[in-house]
Structure 1
């Protein structure tokens, strides 16, 4: 019985201890970079000639336009976006283009169509901007770890309760045997 209790105690201890984590300078390799915060919503649209990526920050939509063949930036183009039925011309800004929306978009999926004119090429690209509300992002990012810790804690408490109950039952049985046989401790 004592070996069963020791095995259960070691199992509990192993379950409660997390994986070993090496400190700085002892990790033996490059760690994947941690994401500093939630990523800004973005969309992409691709054709045979162009690749367009848009990143939304509030009301400002920053556009990156590259050639599909060699991924080189296209800096001298005219871009017009149609976002959910409203037309927006993009303004060149360094190696990017910018569009300022009339209002910050509401959560949901927005269809985006871009008309790109560069040199003698005219191309039509289509994509979708999938927006989630801040509460949805916050809940998804923070609920999961706490649920996992709560499940581990509940499991550890249940195991401890079982071990304690098993130990009490074993003591009662031993006490009952000593009383039945007349033995004294």
Structure 2
């Protein structure tokens, strides 16, 4: 392999090895607004439904927010009375608005799945709802996005492999010339 061929091979190796880096868009070079992402791990929640009512509860530490709607049209249940039991313990609720309640738990819920039962009385309608809330510690709350890092590593590995192939080809060419001249 002649010297200009070596430089051509090394140049090609560099271009091909760095191509994945050029394909990445950074700030100001994207195609529109990025979709919204969650700022942290999702809060534990439960849902309990029946033919009449839908109840959703969201747990934030020891604070519990509850949303009670009609199953048919998803409108808040007006003037409802709600009794709640989580893992065998009765929870005292405070009405915040129509169909919205809140509670302060006496103690944090234990990790794992806990049964939830609710009794709803709204006018002449009464129903018993059941669900489960799954509480787990956020093990991977700060996971690092790996897409860009993986592309950088792949580009660098590709460039090194192509450069090694060019050097191997050069040495092979020299060996053929030396062997052919003898």
Same fold (TM over 0.5): yes
1:37 aligns with 2:40: yes
Cα distance in 1 for residues equivalent to 2:178 and 2:17:
33
After superposition, give the CA deviation of every residue in 1:123-172 in whole Å (9 maximum; x if it has no partner).
011111111203x141xx515x23x5554444334333322221221221
Aligned to 1:65: 68
Partner residue in 1 for 2:143:
142
Alignment TM-score, normalising by the size of structure 1 = 0.78
Structure 1: stretches of 5+ with no match in the other structure = none
Where do 4+ consecutive residues of structure 1 move more than 6 Å? none
Q: Which residue of 2 aligns with 1:79?
A: 82
Work out whether residues 118 and 128 of structure 2, in 8 Å CA contact, stay in contact via their aligned partners in 1: yes
- Matched positions, count: 176
Measure the CA separation in 1 of the matches of 2:27 and 2:153: 28
* CA-CA distance at 1:46 after TM superposition: 0.9
Residue 22 of structure 1 and its aligned partner are, at CA, apart by 7.3
Say whether residues 1:54 and 2:53 are aligned partners: no
* TM-score of the two chains, using structure 2 as the length reference: 0.79
Report the RMSD for the aligned CA atoms in angstroms.
2.9
The residue number in structure 2 matching 1:178 is 177
Q: What is the deviation of 1:83?
A: 0.7
The farther-off stretch of 78-87 and 171-180 is 171-180
Aligned to 2:137: 133
SS of 2:167's equivalent in the other structure is helix
110 and 17 in structure 1: CA distance in 2 versus 1, 3 angstrom threshold: farther
Q: Which residue of structure 1 aligns with residue 127 of structure 2? A: 123
8 Å Cα contact 1:75-1:92 kept in structure 2: no
**Corresponding position: 1:13 with 2:5:** no
**Equivalent position to 2:102, from 98, 102, 105:** 98
- Cα deviation, residue 53, structure 1: 0.7
The verdict on how the C-alpha distance between 1:60 and 1:71 changes in structure 2, with shifts beyond 3 A counting, is: same
- Change in Cα spacing, 1:97 to 1:39, as seen in structure 2 (3 Å) is same
